[in-house]
Amino acid sequence: MLKKKLMISFLILNAIISVSSFASWWGNLSKTERAGVIATGTLLTKDRYDKYRDKSDGIDEARYKKDMQDLEERLRKEYEEKLANQEPKKKKVNPNMPVIVEKDEMPTVSNGNKYLQPRNYSQEDLKKEELRKAEEVLKQNAEISPEEMEELKRLSEQAELNNKEQYRYDMKLNEKELLEMKEYPKGIEPILKKQKILSDNLPQIRVRTLEDIRMSIISNLTILASKSSDETKNFITFERKIERYSRKAESTVFVTLFQDVVEMLNALITEKFLTKEDAIEKIGYIYDKFPVSIEKNLYFQKKDKMEFFRDLIKPFTKISINNKDVVKDFEKFMFNLFNYAEIIKINKSVINVCFQKKFLRYVKKYNIIENI
């Protein structure tokens, strides 16, 4: 059987050699060169055949497969090492293509607010988080002894008491402010401050509104007209004016009217219809620089004769919080008021003395300093 296989193999080899020797791929090689190439191939094939051929069992297939596996394993390792040593190739960016923005995942943090939780948090997870926080609070409370809790309570009460005492101290008048209250006012700003103290501390059956102050001013304007010594100004006609005229009464009514005007300025400042700076600089200057502010005013002309309704009541009724020219309208009324004061010969010193006396009388009568 073995001889038969060898004979078949020899015949096949001869056929291959015969065909190969006359094949077209040899080109211009001579017959001798062709024979050398064929002989070399035959010897290599025979050597490979003899390598896996066992004289007793024929060809060793197991050894052949093992060598093939080893060769494959070695080639695979070499290829992997080559890939590992190579630097990763960077993909060239196409300038004509839009850049792909990589989105980073947002960290999921529990913050205790169910409306601000990430979407991947379920209601069960939120409940567990709340229970965990509650357990931590209970644990911290359990670590505080009853004596410590009592001490914390005492310190809390003491802190609250200290805050109340500090508030009372802040509300008390200091020595400088007390001296200012006893001194005669020298300008519109201290008058505004003193009138504010009276408005906030005098007993009242209800809160005084801006409309109440407006009615008081109109009423005092009417009373001031009734105290005038000028028969053409006084609307009371059934008595002789010369017998009932009183200079003191006229001055007192004017100062009361001026107090109402100052109170209205404070109310407009409080309600934010007027700023304190405008009240002092654009309106209060008429009082601060009186009588020069009347005689040499750049905006209004001094009048030698005045009518109450035309020059005082009517300009006052034009003052409205809905009007953007409230500062200008108030300034005009203030100018006319002190223009009338100059006509009836009421100077600034008289106004200051009367205002201060009334202020101190109210302060003493209603214990305003102690209340403050």
- 192, 262 in Cβ contact below 8 A? yes
Angle at 78 between CA 72 and CA 84, to 5 degrees: 135
Q: Please indicate whether residue 33 or residue 294 has the higher confidence score (pLDDT).
A: 294
- Is the predicted pLDDT of residue 294 greater than 50, yes or no? yes
Please state, rounded to an integer, the average pLDDT across all residues of the chain.
76
Q: What pLDDT is attached to residue 113?
A: 52
pLDDT grade for 268, boundaries at 50, 70 and 90: very high
Q: Please indicate whether residue 53 or residue 202 has the higher confidence score (pLDDT).
A: 202
Please indicate, yes or no, whether residues 181 and 136 belong to a single structural domain of this protein. no
31 is a domain residue? no
pLDDT (tens digit per residue) in 141-190:
656 667 776 777 777 777 766 665 554 444 455 555 666 667 888 889 99
Please indicate, yes or no, whether residues 206 and 187 belong to a single structural domain of this protein. yes
Q: SS3 letters for 304-351?
A: CCCCHHHHHHHHHHCCCCCCCCHHHHHHHHHHHHHHHHHHCCCCHHHH
- The boundaries of the domain holding residue 299 are 177-371
Ranking 49-53, 88-92, 233-237 by mean pLDDT, the lowest is: 49-53
Please indicate, yes or no, whether residues 150 and 260 belong to a single structural domain of this protein. no
What 328-331 contacts at long range (C-beta under 8 Å, 24+ apart), as own/partner pairs, is 330/265, 330/268, 330/274, 330/283, 331/282, 331/283, 331/286, 331/299
Please indicate, yes or no, whether residues 148 and 231 belong to a single structural domain of this protein. no
159 is a domain residue? yes
The highest-confidence range among 146-160, 164-178, 221-235, 338-352, by mean pLDDT, is 338-352
Q: What pLDDT is attached to residue 87?
A: 63
Across the range 99-128, mean pLDDT stands at 56
Please indicate, yes or no, whether residues 201 and 268 belong to a single structural domain of this protein. yes
Please indicate, yes or no, whether residues 291 and 146 belong to a single structural domain of this protein. no
Please indicate, yes or no, whether residues 166 and 191 belong to a single structural domain of this protein. no
pLDDT (tens digit per residue) in 113-123:
554 444 555 66
- Give the percent of the chain with pLDDT over 70: 62
Q: What pLDDT is attached to residue 6?
A: 60
Please indicate, yes or no, whether residues 163 and 181 belong to a single structural domain of this protein. no
Q: Which residues are 59's β-sheet partners? A: 53
For residue 242, what are the contacts with CB-CB under 8 A and spacing of at least 6?
229
334 is a domain residue? yes
For the domain that residue 190 is a member of, what is the CATH number? Answer: 1.10.4010
Which residue is listed with tokens 């209970």? 138
- Is the predicted pLDDT of residue 303 greater than 70, yes or no? yes
Of the residues 170, 187, 202, the one at which a domain ends: 170
- Is the predicted pLDDT of residue 325 greater than 80, yes or no? yes
Please indicate, yes or no, whether residues 245 and 135 belong to a single structural domain of this protein. no
Q: Please indicate whether residue 156 or residue 263 has the higher confidence score (pLDDT).
A: 263
Please indicate, yes or no, whether residues 140 and 285 belong to a single structural domain of this protein. no
SS3 96: coil
Q: Give the residue among 35, 61, 45 at the shortest CA–CA distance from 10.
A: 45
163 is a domain residue? yes
112 is a domain residue? no
Please indicate, yes or no, whether residues 254 and 294 belong to a single structural domain of this protein. yes
Region of 112 (left: φ > 0; alpha: ψ -120 to 50; beta: rest) is left
Please indicate, yes or no, whether residues 224 and 181 belong to a single structural domain of this protein. yes
pLDDT (tens digit per residue) in 3-44:
555 666 666 666 666 655 555 555 555 666 666 666 666 665
Q: Alpha-carbon distance 340 to 299, whole Å? A: 17
Q: How many domains does the chain have?
A: 2
Q: What pLDDT is attached to residue 209?
A: 92
63 is a domain residue? no
Of the residues 143, 170, 197, the one at which a domain ends: 170
- Is the predicted pLDDT of residue 96 greater than 80, yes or no? no
267 is a domain residue? yes
